[in-house]
Amino acid sequence: MSGPIPTILRRIRRGSRDVVENAVSQLFDAAVQPNGVAESGEYRIDELARLAGTTTRNIRVYRDRGLLHPPLRVGR
């Protein structure tokens, strides 16, 4: 993995909210609408992680820290 997002993620220190917020902002800037993804701007966690070049674990950490909105639950 190379590019600005992994570089920023490597620099994140525990409790560094500003750095994490910046990383999340760049994550969304890097997420480009590919073919086959709903135009509503809603992504499954694995799609968002893939598009942003990060892991689903990082996406969950950002959500747990309150940097991302809770997921929309559909179905059961």
In this predicted structure, the answer to whether residue 13 has a pLDDT above a threshold of 70 is: no
pLDDT tens per residue, range 15-49: 566 767 777 777 776 665 555 555 567 788 898 88
pTM: 0.48
In this predicted structure, the answer to whether residue 75 has a pLDDT above a threshold of 90 is: no
Integer angstrom CA distances of residue 50 from 6, 53, 69 = 13, 5, 18
Sign of the CA dihedral with 35 first, then 36, 40, and 42 last: negative
What ranges do the domains of the chain cover? 4-64
